[in-house]
């Protein structure tokens, strides 16, 4: 009986973690460039692991937590500082402890005159330096397909300012999720030159979270959690009845 109780408890904890993960995804359904997180379950059911480490209990636990990097829909904004990366690649930004990677494209010019993400992280160029934007109206800023930034002058003239540092990652499974929409590199991962991409100015890649799909998953996990909770209550009732029977003389 104890084995079943702990199995149900492990299952309830796993589903609670799944609900928390889905809640975070759905809270970011309107966040530009957000990539949804997935989790998978596993059970200890085989050979020595089952009889040894698991003490014969069929534990249910989180197996993997990974990020879905599929592209989100694009919404055109006509804002010259909004960009979308079509294809593979990430913007490089300067985080508090080093370089981070993001697909978030709602950019702005900060107080220092540097191009930055909407959450204040400086955007880096191909040489890993912050991009300084001349004091000019943003309507006079153009961004080419390859990420080259220009300022437009009278009579169609233009001057090159910098080029966005767009790179890809050789193994996206080794991207570690950081705050907001940023990622850092885990040991063994490396950035590679971005090739299969195109920068679209005046548009934003939205979150790849599907609200209807997320709600369906949420309901399913809630129902499973409630089932485990009912099982635990049943074990509690049985235990109480056993204690009462044990006191009879």
Per-residue pLDDT of 137-146, as tens digits, reads: 888 999 999 9
Smallest CA-to-CA distance from 67 within 230, 194, 200, 182 is with 182
Per-residue pLDDT of 122-159, as tens digits, reads: 999 999 999 999 888 888 999 999 999 999 988 778 89
Greatest Cα-to-Cα distance within the chain, rounded to the nearest angstrom: 104
Average pLDDT over residues 221-243: 69
Q: Is the pLDDT of residue 230 over 90?
A: no
Asked if 84 and 125 count as a contact pair (C-beta separation under 8 A), the reply is: no
Non-local (6+) Cβ contacts of 43 within 8 A are 58, 59, 60, 61
The rounded mean pLDDT for the chain is 84
Average pLDDT over residues 30-35: 93
Secondary structure (3-state) at 64: strand
pTM of the entire predicted model = 0.78
């Amino acid at each position: 009986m104890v084995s079943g109780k702990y199995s149900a408890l492990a299952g309830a904890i796993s589903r609670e973690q799944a609900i928390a993960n889905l809640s975070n995804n759905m809270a970011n359904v309107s966040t530009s460039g957000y990539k949804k997180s997935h989790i998978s379950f596993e059970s200890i059911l085989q050979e020595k692991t089952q009889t040894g480490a698991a003490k014969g209990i069929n534990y249910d636990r989180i197996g993997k937590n990974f990020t879905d990097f599929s592209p989100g829909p694009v919404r055109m904004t006509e804002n010259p500082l909004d960009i979308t990366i079509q294809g593979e690649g990430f913007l490089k930004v300067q985080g508090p402890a080093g370089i981070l990677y993001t697909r978030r494209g709602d950019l702005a010019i900060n107080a220092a005159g540097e191009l930055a993400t909407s959450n204040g992280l400086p955007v880096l160029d191909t040489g890993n330096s912050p991009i300084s934007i001349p004091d000019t109206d943003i309507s006079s800023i153009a961004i080419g397909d390859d990420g080259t930034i220009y300022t437009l002058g009278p009579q169609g003239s233009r001057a090159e300012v910098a080029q966005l540092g767009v790179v890809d990652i050789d193994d996206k499974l080794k991207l570690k999720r950081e705050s907001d929409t940023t990622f850092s590199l885990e040991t063994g991962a490396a950035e590679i030159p971005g090739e299969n991409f195109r920068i679209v100015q005046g548009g934003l890649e939205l979150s790849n979270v599907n609200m209807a799909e997320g709600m369906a998953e949420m309901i399913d996990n809630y129902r499973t959690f409630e089932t485990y909770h009912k099982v635990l209550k049943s074990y509690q009732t049985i235990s109480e009845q056993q204690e009462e029977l044990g006191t009879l003389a």
